[in-house]
Structure 1
């Protein structure tokens, strides 16, 4: 299966209380061709990481309404689309939304650390769509066990496609999804609810880089 064929499979998924950024268009935030733009963004990422032989996948839980829902790129908000281009060599990635650029705190933590590491990785989610509360599209909820069962094959296809040597499970939901993986997994705390420093320090140690000293972090609640 090619990157384009993989995107077609993602586009075919539809479910209640779920926004599929590769299929759906938000009437309030999106440009008219938003789903096409996000699909192209993800194809560019997949083709770039495959061509460069990226050997590590970082896996988190779901797409967030301020991040991957808008960009089509997991764990990436609009602020960091240029960071994707520089790190992965994708060429230009396009915005799919109108109005002001929207930032996501989780994406900021992820990309700040990736900038220090300097090594390209593939970013993904156990549930590669945006689950939201009933009637509240701009909220984040955790995917259900049934939703995970339906979409986990996407993760295993991605692993087969890229053949990574290392997986990074970000948060307990990702850890649970990868517990039977035949590929080595490093489990890290999700950088939310006060976990930012522990997340960064664990991965800095794993990649052998120094982290600058930081002031005590206040507990913040953002996308998990």
Structure 2
């Protein structure tokens, strides 16, 4: 796994029960015809651009959410913010893999709100880089198991080696504890869900030396998308 392409290929080959792999699985309800290939290319492009730009910080959350990375292939990024993600990395093209209305995710909205205020990109990832869901409910979010984390750990280590970040930021206590298990030095910030938005913004803007007032307190999708985009935390 020495290149983004080989890394994404390894990620796509991971198969687990009650886990949707957006880089190889096709969702019959929402995906376009070539959705897994689109998501693989989105992630390759995101990683290639990050490495080329020498992005030196990784933000790592817990799991891939069903409204965000499951649909786009880019962690912590929903369809509303695909263009913003591409722009922040120098104007690379990231594409929708799904059909129907654009779907928003509140966690992604807050993450990209802060990235916009900071004005520089971060490599975005999850401790468990696939979408774990409840049995019989593919559009739910559950916490990955310890066994699933162990299976995904070589991918996390490989990505850290590939990107060679100067610092890691764990988003939420679960991510911080998981990263502590593999001995990676990390700075922890509050997850923005369940009342943690202000602490999340304060933690990251302090880390980057940015005025937190540059982040508004109520992120919303663009007006032309608001009618079709319902928010939910991941």
TM-score, length basis structure 1: 0.94
Aligned-pair CA distance for 1:180: 5.2
CA–CA distance in 2 between the matches of 1:53 and 1:194?
A: 33
What is the CA-CA distance between 1:124 and the residue it aligns to? 0.1
- TM-superposition CA deviations, 1:183-218 (whole Å, max 9, x none): 54110010000000000011111111112299988x
The answer (yes or no) to whether the contact 1:165–1:184 under 8 Å persists in 2 is no
Partner of 1:190: 191
Q: Which runs of 5+ in 1 are unaligned?
A: none
Asked if 1:59 is matched to 2:57, the reply is: no
Q: Map of 1:105-184 to 2, 5 A cutoff?
A: 105-179=106-180, 184=185
Q: Which has the higher contact order (CA 8 A, sep 6+)?
A: 2
Consecutive aligned runs of 4 or more in structure 1 exceeding 4 Å deviation: 180-183, 213-217
| TM-score under structure 2 length normalisation | 0.90
1:223 aligns with 2:219: no
Question: Equivalent residues in 2 for 1:23-42 (5 A)?
Answer: 23-42=24-43
3-state SS of 1:5 partner: helix
| Cα offsets for 1:47-82 (capped at 9, x unmatched) | 001111111000000111100000000000000001
1:52–1:215 CA distance, 2 compared to 1 (3 A): closer
Aligned Cα RMSD in Å?
1.8
Cα shift at 1:89:
2.2
CA contact (8 A) 1:128 1:151 kept: yes
- Counterpart secondary structure, 1:69: helix
SS at match of 2:198: helix
